[in-house]
Structure 1
Amino acid sequence: MRFINTLREGETIRNIYLCKGKRSAETRNGKPYDNLILQDKTGVLDGKVWDPNSGGIADYDEMDFIEVYGEIINYNNNLQLNIKQIRKAEETEYSMADYLPTSGKDTEKMYQELLGYVKKIENPYLRQVVEYYFVKDEAFIRKFKAHSAAKSVHHGFSGGLLEHTLSVVKFCEYMVGAYPILNSDVLYTAAICHDIGKIKELSPFPENDYTDDGQLLGHIVIGVEMISEAARSIPDFPDRLASELKHCIVAHHGELEYGSPKKPALAEAFALNFADCADAKMQTLTEIFKDKNTYDWLGYNRLFETNLRKTIGMGT
């Protein structure tokens, strides 16, 4: 097994990968070719089939495990596989564990650490909202531990949703200590619950793709519905407190153009947005710089709208 993060420019390889994506296109001259996204647990690799109708390209579909043969090249400072042969792999030829990207951190330790913040919530109503899912709902807990935080961009791996949530909570913990205006109970509850809708927005691995509800509603609306469900199960839950908590969830992307139905209006909503954005961007940078053994400029990045480069001695 040659994992994607070990591949180097100039190598010719024959290996099995998950075909995570497949899209047909045409060159400027009108010649058809296929764009593939190949995946294993270490990352993804762009693949190009310049002659999809050749005899070396067998029938295959997206989400199939395929054996590919081709040459690794460097294109715009990113590795790419020019594929000459493809065949669909048999189930006995691969182990699923080699193809599921996972968090490098211990899932159980992270979850126990997250539960430690649940215990910091003193308001009984808010504590019960969090416990409704994170303590009492075993099916939810299993999904939450294994889920990704995104299809791509940041934390797009098993355990990514938990890792991201814990990081956001830790950012919020700093702000609670630094800014007395913040209601720690509201902020901790919102931080722990801000992305719970993603367990319904995205399908589990290996698909890790948008569900119908993900396409039609999105994780913010789904998350607010889940908060409402928990609040309705708690007798005499204060309406004002429920609205404040749901506002934090609704506004945590910060801007209307980023998918939030409302912009932040509470200090806690601002704090959650800052924490969420900071962790998402730092993890995205981490994944961009990962395995880039160069201190040259990497080129313009559309997400950050700037050219990027590692500092000398920067950790990976």
Structure 2
Amino acid sequence: MKQGTWVEEILPGRRVMGLFLAKEKKLLKGKTGKGYLLIKLADRTGEVEARIWDRVEQLGERFQAGDLVKISGEASTYQGVLQVRILELERDSSLDLSGLEEFVPGYETRMACSRERLSELEDLVGGIQDGPLKELVRDFLQDPALREGWIVAPAAKRLHHARLGGLLEHTLSVCRLVCLVCQHYPQLQKDLLLVGAVLHDVGKIRELQAPWKPDYTTEGRLLGHVIMGLAMLEERLAGHPEVLPEQAMLLRHMIASHHGVLEYGSPKRPKTLEALVLYMLDDLDAKFDAFQEHLATDPGEGEGWTSYHAMFDRYLYRGTGPVGGDGRPAEEAQERVE
């Protein structure tokens, strides 16, 4: 199915012709006020930014994010970043399951990692001592539609874990942190907290579209994953009357309050120890991933600094010495261990 140039073959000064996934599409304005399209092109070898400067409306009407597009253009660098200027574009088709291996970067590796993570998550759930709570969360994990959604869903549109399987990666990470924190604070209700960790973002399976089309569903735009997650919990609780009413209420509160503060979309602030810990661990894991992703992929401002990060409202310092334990210089983008 793939035709023409691969992303990894794109070099400054070269002509670019081929079939790519239009992963993102944004209409922006330049310094003069003239509109242009910013597009993220992808295939299995990577991603590259592209722009349409001319005939913006005409070419923009031909495709949407998530479509396969045939493009013709020229590659160059701007402030050290490789980009493609698109001169011609035609929509080929929508990306379907048969094309994922060729157009989603690292698809096979990420899918294998997701299946391993789901197995580990099921093992952690298997250690829950409270029988009714264990059966409740297993009901979620064993549902075929939700199971497939967990394997592929991103955790966010772009802020953190915004990649294939990112939701499961984030969920498992929070669950691992719960196990560590409960060793340090044995007064916590570990079973309840672990169930809350597994389910806190379950609404994102329905809130977000597939990672090769990172956008919100209509339901997601109208309701958001917190409300959607609460509705999904209510559906399952109806089939598990053995879960104590107090436990059910505390689980609802954990989902409702896991963003911590009202201005970040939480209907309620945490009012139990378990809800407080879940909020803090969720926030830690999300920010760690966003911070690490920016350090690893941002071209930087020189002298060890990244460019400005809007979410953190600051420049980030990656340093000029070795990173990690392998002694590689910091300017070499560290590959994420899958």
Cα contact 1:194–1:223 (8 A) shared by 2: yes
Over 3 Å counting, the alpha-carbon distance change for 1:209 and 1:30 in structure 2 is closer
Partner of 1:70: 74
Say if 1:265 and 1:282 are closer, same or farther in 2 by CA, change over 3 A: same
Unaligned runs of 5+ in 2: 325-333
The answer for the alignment partner of 2:322 in structure 1 is 313
Q: Aligned equivalents of 1:261 and 1:91: distance in 2?
A: 37
Taking a change above 3 Å as real, the CA distance of residues 3 and 159 of structure 1, as seen in their structure-2 partners, is farther
Which residue is 2:264 aligned to? 258
Q: What residue is the counterpart of 2:174 in the other structure? A: 168
Residues 283-310 of structure 1: CA deviation (Å, up to 9, x unaligned)? 1123223345766312221111111132
1:127-154: CA deviation from partner (whole Å, max 9, x where unpaired): 121011113x122212211221112222
Counterpart for residue 330 of structure 2 = none
TM-score normalised over the length of structure 2: 0.81
Asked if 1:18 corresponds to 2:21, the answer is: yes
Provide the alpha-carbon RMSD of the alignment: 2.9
Q: TM-score, normalised by structure 1?
A: 0.87
Distance in 1 (alpha carbons) for counterparts of 2:57 and 2:130: 66
Give the fraction of aligned pairs with identical amino acids, expressed as a percent: 30
1:131-181 deviations in Å (ceiling 9; x for gaps): 11113x122212211221112222222211111111110111110111122
Aligned pair partner of 2:126 in 119, 124, 129:
119
Question: 1:198 corresponds to which residue?
Answer: 204
**Which residue pairs with 1:285 in the alignment?**
291
Q: Structure 1's 85 and 166: CA in aligned 2 closer, same or farther, altered over 3 A?
A: same
Supply the distance in 2 between the matched residues of 1:87 and 1:164 (Cα, whole angstroms): 36
Q: Kindly provide the CA deviation profile for residues 88-110 of structure 1, in whole angstroms up to 9, marking residues without a partner as x.
A: 34799x94322224438622221
Structure 1 counterpart SS, 2:51: strand
Q: CA deviation at 1:61?
A: 1.0
User: How many Å apart are 1:236 and its aligned residue?
Assistant: 3.8
Q: CA deviation at 1:7?
A: 5.1
| Distance change in 2, residues 1:67/1:115 (3 Å) | same
Q: Is the 8 A contact 1:22 1:61 kept in 2?
A: no
Once residues 47 and 240 of structure 2 are traced to their aligned partners in structure 1, the CA distance between those partners, rounded to angstroms, is 44
Change (3 A) 1:307 1:9: farther
Distance in 1 of aligned mates of 2:267 and 2:8:
39
Q: Displacement of 1:84 after TM fit?
A: 2.7
Letter in 2 for 1:148: P
Aligned length: 312
Deviations 1:56-96 (A, max 9, x none): x6972113322332223224x6443222333334799x943
Distance 2:9 2:291 in 1: 20
